[in-house]
A and B are shown apart, each in its own frame.
Chain A
């Protein structure tokens, strides 16, 4: 079984069961509007490295005793070309993924690793937030407690990087539904 399929099965959002279908569709259409699914245009030759033009506002990460967690914030690209975040690292979790949230065939909102990374449009921004795109911490090395800070390093398609810190906050949302908790390697 591929990792992606596992993710689709495991990261079903709790909210999907009560979210009206119209709202879910709206979510998907808005996601599409932001250009998440598009591929980045190649940067022009005189563009600055992506790591120099991208910042994050209001970054935070959800507290968790162990297992998985997620990071959020508003990514902003002040450059004149689209940039693509292709990977992320963190000091608190050796295994990290970039996740998107999409509607599956059953009409549920599911989270899965995004193909091709996060595209931040030129002069635009990309929201990372509960129920939408987010940074997934797949295996915490220790408890993430409220008020601590975690460091993240984004790597872009041009190999440049951007490092930021995010405070840890207690948060009741952003839940993954671990329905098949007997699956190996995904216990929580």
Chain B
């Protein structure tokens, strides 16, 4: 056979975007032809270094292939969609390989601003805007693969504060789609779901947001809808500290991590009745800038021993940060998104937090902290967990591999 058996899909340095769009024009769909021509013009501008002086955010890309999946140590994008899928009956290990090969190919293309194969809206893929697509495996998927997961890969223990709804909890496969452009995120999500449709059904969808792109310096600690600075104690991506907190080291999960995703309803109408000092005390931090009540700046270390003039702790016993603080092993990396849905009835808000945390070992890092918060945390007055799911996030993959290959191959 004179030709390479592999075909040409992995040929290096090939300008597939332009080719695809020229193909789009041939398809004879008027709009596609027009957009394709427009894009070709823009592209030729870029190639001749006559691009506009302000680079477009839409062109920014986060690499897909690598030791770790993107979307975890990536500076959190403005928009996040999280989907929990249930595998169809009969989806076995071989089918999981097929599914993850397809989804990996989709993600590898879409995150780099290239249409997926069989993408019926290819123009929507051309501005990735830091799109990342991250996959997670629930206990059910690992069982279908005929493998054993880490011990913590199971629903979290029941907590007293929980009012979990099954339709917002658990799931076999996590699709996490993050990006700075909501149209790009919507297209990528739909493309993934179209390709997963033959294998799984949607169990839950959660859509969240942070500040819009460009509103704040990247890396600024987010604020939640209570106005709180949320995530100050996060380890910093790119540091050894972060690596130790987040990345697992053993077995098929080496290079991956554990994800906890909890939908936490925040009663903003009740929170409205709390004055400023009460708000500060409930967290143990100043709402104004996130500084601990014993400090002046966000990243000052809280002094849990400090007492007021009359002998009470400056950071109260019930304060969230005191209750959350464990020993050095009980640390997590938070990467939450806000949600704000349509309120029902007399309330004016149906809001909350899509709490997302990554940690190498959920059993030893997350659960002890959550037990303490379950026992006592004044914030529980205004928050209720209504959904909860745990996933193993497999490591990243090489260009000739696929996400999950360490488990499924």
Residues 1-21 of B at the A interface (beta carbon under 8 Å) = 1-9, 11, 14, 16, 19-20
Which residues of A lie under 8 Å from residue B99 when comparing CB positions?
146-147
A60 touches B33 (CB 8 A): no
- Kindly provide the distance from the CB of B112 to the nearest chain A CB, expressed in whole angstroms: 13
Q: How many A-B residue pairs have CB under 8 A?
A: 132
B8 touches A76 (CB 8 A): yes
Cβ contact of B2, chosen from A24, A30, A49, A171, cutoff 8 A: A49
Bound-state CA distance A36–B29 (Å) is 18
Interface string of A158-175 (1 = CB under 8 A from B): 001111111101111100
Bound-state CA distance A130–B118 (Å) is 9
Which residues of B lie under 8 Å from residue A28 when comparing CB positions?
28
Residues 100-114 of B at the A interface (beta carbon under 8 Å) = 101-102, 105
- By CB atoms of chain B within 10 A, which of A127, A151, A171 has the most? A127
Judged by a CB distance under 8 angstroms, whether A43 is at the interface is no
Residue of B nearest to A147 (CB): B98
Cβ contact of A23, chosen from B9, B30, B118, cutoff 8 A: B30
A76 touches B27 (CB 8 A): no
B1 touches A163 (CB 8 A): yes
Judged by a CB distance under 8 angstroms, whether A79 is at the interface is no
Bound-state CA distance A141–B318 (Å) is 68
Which residues of A lie under 8 Å from residue B308 when comparing CB positions?
none
Judged by a CB distance under 8 angstroms, whether A97 is at the interface is no
Which residues of A lie under 8 Å from residue B212 when comparing CB positions?
none
- By CB atoms of chain A within 10 A, which of B29, B30, B118, B199 has the most? B118
Bound-state CA distance A115–B20 (Å) is 25
B117 touches A130 (CB 8 A): no
Which residues of A lie under 8 Å from residue B166 when comparing CB positions?
none
- Kindly provide the distance from the CB of A25 to the nearest chain B CB, expressed in whole angstroms: 9
A170 touches B194 (CB 8 A): yes
Residues 120-159 of A at the B interface (beta carbon under 8 Å) = 125, 127, 129-132, 145-148, 151, 153
Judged by a CB distance under 8 angstroms, whether A51 is at the interface is yes
Cβ contact of A167, chosen from B25, B117, B198, cutoff 8 A: B117
Which residues of A lie under 8 Å from residue B98 when comparing CB positions?
145-148
Judged by a CB distance under 8 angstroms, whether B22 is at the interface is yes
A163 touches B5 (CB 8 A): yes
Bound-state CA distance A178–B1 (Å) is 37
> Do A166 and B19 form a contact, CB below 8 Å, given A129-B27, A146-B195?
no
Which residues of A lie under 8 Å from residue B22 when comparing CB positions?
125, 127
B2 touches A130 (CB 8 A): no
Bound-state CA distance A31–B117 (Å) is 22
A74 touches B19 (CB 8 A): yes
A162 touches B3 (CB 8 A): yes
B30 touches A22 (CB 8 A): yes
Judged by a CB distance under 8 angstroms, whether B41 is at the interface is no
Cβ contact of A26, chosen from B8, B30, B198, cutoff 8 A: B30
Residue of A nearest to B19 (CB): A74
A173 touches B120 (CB 8 A): yes
Which residues of B lie under 8 Å from residue A87 when comparing CB positions?
none
Judged by a CB distance under 8 angstroms, whether A55 is at the interface is yes
Judged by a CB distance under 8 angstroms, whether A52 is at the interface is yes
Which residues of A lie under 8 Å from residue B14 when comparing CB positions?
57
Which residues of B lie under 8 Å from residue A30 when comparing CB positions?
25-26, 28, 33
Residue of A nearest to B98 (CB): A147
Residue of A nearest to B23 (CB): A127
A163 touches B3 (CB 8 A): yes
Bound-state CA distance A38–B289 (Å) is 70
Cβ contact of A171, chosen from B6, B105, B118, cutoff 8 A: B118
A147 touches B118 (CB 8 A): no
> Do A59 and B9 form a contact, CB below 8 Å, given A30-B26, A52-B2, A131-B27?
yes
Judged by a CB distance under 8 angstroms, whether B147 is at the interface is no
Residue of B nearest to A101 (CB): B28
A132 touches B8 (CB 8 A): no
Cβ contact of B7, chosen from A34, A72, A132, A165, cutoff 8 A: A165
Which residues of B lie under 8 Å from residue A74 when comparing CB positions?
16, 19-20, 23
Which residues of B lie under 8 Å from residue A62 when comparing CB positions?
118
- Kindly provide the distance from the CB of B319 to the nearest chain A CB, expressed in whole angstroms: 51
Residue of A nearest to B1 (CB): A163
- Kindly provide the distance from the CB of B331 to the nearest chain A CB, expressed in whole angstroms: 38
- By CB atoms of chain B within 10 A, which of A28, A74, A172 has the most? A74
Which residues of B lie under 8 Å from residue A170 when comparing CB positions?
118, 194-195, 197-198
Residue of B nearest to A36 (CB): B26
Which residues of A lie under 8 Å from residue B33 when comparing CB positions?
26, 30
Q: A131-B29, A146-B198, A167-B105 are in contact. List 19 more A-B contacts (CB 8 A).
A: A23-B28, A49-B2, A54-B3, A56-B8, A58-B20, A59-B7, A60-B117, A63-B198, A76-B19, A127-B26, A127-B27, A131-B27, A132-B26, A147-B102, A160-B2, A162-B2, A163-B1, A164-B8, A170-B194
A-B contact pairs, 5 of them (CB 8 A): A52-B3, A129-B27, A145-B198, A148-B98, A151-B5
- The interface of chain B, by Cβ under 8 A from chain A, is 1-9, 11, 14, 16, 19-20, 22-23, 25-30, 33, 95, 97-99, 101-102, 105, 117-118, 120, 194-195, 197-199
Considering the complex of A and B, which 4 residue pairs feature the smallest CB-CB distances, nearest first? A27-B28, A147-B98, A164-B7, A127-B23
